[in-house]
Amino acid sequence: MHRPHLPSAHGLNRRQLLQAGAASALAGTSLHALATDAAWPGKVIKMVVAFPAGGPTDTVARITAQKLGERLGTTIVVDNRPGASGSIGTASFIKSAPDGNTLSMFGMPALLAPLMYNNNAYDVEKDFLCVATVYDLVMGIVINPEVLPGVDSLQALIAKAKTAKPPLNYTSSGTGSFGHLAMEQLKDLGGFDMLHVPYRGSAPAVTDLLSGQLGVMFADLVAALPHIRAGKLRAIALSSPRGRQMLPGVKTVAEQGFPGFDFDSWGGLIAPLGTPAPVITRLNRELKDILTNDQEVKDKLLQVGAIASYQPADAMRKRLLTDRARWTKIAKDKNISAAG
């Protein structure tokens, strides 16, 4: 009987060898992906937050971790590693094993921290993997109404600032924070001045705002909202229209004479370089479903002053780089750094 000729390996031409190798690699990758997806998560997951407990990134991380852990069938423990506007915790996190068991909720202060502190602790462009955005954080200009009783709008604050002697002070969550940079930009646009008094985090800044030691803060709504609702602080302007979901009667900065002034702070989940693709895919899939379809989570975030906001990994990375360029320019133009 005639048997068909089967070429030996050395008889294969280059194209056939390449095709055979590619098929073998693809099969191996698929098996590895299936194995990784099936085995993970095999233990408790740690979610690093490079900011203090009780702050906006920490608050959102805890709400997200609880629901994400339920869906993954494991426990996600939040690990706070604060310091230097998020750079200490982030620099530590990027050295974690890339096995999917250590993640981090990245907040925007950490975006510019290497610039503020003049170090190269990490590079947001190449030192970690973006998973997905999780939340948007509307900012607001808030005042202590006992310190500034007649100020009920942004224009009223500007008029007060232009005539105040000594100059008015304002605070933010820290040097180089979004609140700091945004107010510095607004001061240039409005032709007025106030002296910045930085704090290490939103919570202590709000505490001194409530006590009357300061009169003005460009604050994240997670920190300020409970006190606005209680009548102890007054919101006079929002950084973007999305803030009206929480404060429907407050006008934006853009609506009070500064068209085009529109921004939100935000945050998202990141993973160490080398984390298996199936893990990133699974996390992305679960976060998308949670943040777009889980009304309980969306309501919880809104209640504390954050807005559920899902974007996939590529969109998150693009947003990081765009914001880095925007705020780096402002910081350099104003000569702002943590060193003074």
Domain at 76, CATH number: 3.40.190.150
Predicted confidence at residue 330, as pLDDT, reads 87
Mean of pLDDT values over 280-285: 97
Residue where a domain terminates, one of 256, 284, 309 = 256
pLDDT per position as a tens digit, 78-129: 999 998 888 999 999 999 999 999 999 999 989 988 888 888 899 999 999 9
Average confidence score pLDDT of the chain: 88
Predicted confidence at residue 4, as pLDDT, reads 43
Predicted confidence at residue 287, as pLDDT, reads 98
Predicted confidence at residue 275, as pLDDT, reads 97
CA distances from 12 to 7, 8, 24 (A): 7, 7, 16
pLDDT at residue 180 above 70?
yes
Please tell me the least confidently modeled range out of 1-15, 52-66, 314-328: 1-15
pLDDT per position as a tens digit, 185-196: 999 999 999 999
Pair 122, 107 in one domain: yes
pLDDT at residue 3 above 90?
no
Pair 55, 132 in one domain: yes
Residue 25 lies in a domain: no
Residue 26 lies in a domain: no
Pair 130, 145 in one domain: no
Residue where a domain terminates, one of 256, 289, 320 = 256
Predicted confidence at residue 251, as pLDDT, reads 97
Mapped onto helix, strand or coil, the DSSP state of residue 24 is helix
Contacts of 118 (CB under 8 A, 6+ apart): 337, 338, 339
Residue 197 lies in a domain: yes
pLDDT band at 26 (very low <50, low <70, confident <90, very high): very low
- Domain housing 284: 39-137+264-333
Residue 168 lies in a domain: yes
Cα–Cα distance, 269 to 92 (Å, whole number): 16
Please tell me the least confidently modeled range out of 242-246, 284-288, 309-313: 242-246
Residue 21 lies in a domain: no
Residue 131 lies in a domain: yes
Mean of pLDDT values over 243-255: 95
Pair 114, 213 in one domain: no
pLDDT band at 212 (very low <50, low <70, confident <90, very high): very high
Q: Please report how the helices 277-293 and 14-39 are oriented relative to each other, as an axis angle in degrees rounded to 10.
A: 50
Assess whether the previous peptide bond of 82 is cis (omega < 30° from 0): no
Q: Domain count of the chain?
A: 2
Q: Percentage of the chain with pLDDT > 90?
A: 70
Residue where a domain terminates, one of 209, 228, 256 = 256
Cα–Cα distance, 47 to 77 (Å, whole number): 6
| 39, two tokens | 């085995």
Predicted confidence at residue 38, as pLDDT, reads 60
Contacts of 138 (CB under 8 A, 6+ apart): 220, 221, 238, 239, 240, 242, 243, 246, 264, 265, 305, 307
Pair 105, 178 in one domain: no
Largest CA-CA distance found in the chain, in angstroms, rounded: 107
Pair 127, 146 in one domain: no
Residue 207 lies in a domain: yes
Pair 133, 143 in one domain: no
Pair 50, 121 in one domain: yes
Pair 218, 169 in one domain: yes
| Phi, psi for 142 (deg, rounded to 5) | -125, 150
Predicted confidence at residue 84, as pLDDT, reads 85
Mean of pLDDT values over 251-277: 95
> How many other CB atoms are there within 10 angstroms of residue 298's CB atom?
18
Pair 152, 241 in one domain: yes
pLDDT band at 173 (very low <50, low <70, confident <90, very high): confident
Number of residues that make up the chain: 340
What is the full DSSP assignment across 200-245?
SSHHHHHHHHHHTS-SEEEEEHHHHHHHHHTTSSEEEEESSGGGGG
Predicted confidence at residue 332, as pLDDT, reads 87
Pair 196, 284 in one domain: no
pLDDT band at 8 (very low <50, low <70, confident <90, very high): very low
Residue 113 lies in a domain: yes
SS3 content of the chain, % helix, strand, coil (to 5): 50, 20, 35
Contacts of 215 (CB under 8 A, 6+ apart): 143, 144, 147, 148, 168, 169, 170, 209
Q: Is the pTM higher than 0.75?
A: yes
Assess whether the previous peptide bond of 272 is cis (omega < 30° from 0): no
| 157, two tokens | 């604050």
Mapped onto helix, strand or coil, the DSSP state of residue 93 is helix
pLDDT per position as a tens digit, 295-315: 999 999 999 999 999 999 999
Predicted confidence at residue 289, as pLDDT, reads 98
Predicted confidence at residue 279, as pLDDT, reads 97
Pair 158, 252 in one domain: yes
For residue 168, the 8-state DSSP code is P
Please tell me the least confidently modeled range out of 1-5, 121-125, 241-245: 1-5
For residue 74, the 8-state DSSP code is S
Residue 197: closest CA among 213, 221, 220, 178: 213
Please tell me the least confidently modeled range out of 1-5, 54-58, 112-116, 119-123: 1-5
For residue 167, the 8-state DSSP code is P
Domain at 190, CATH number: 3.40.190.10
Mean of pLDDT values over 64-91: 94
pLDDT band at 10 (very low <50, low <70, confident <90, very high): very low
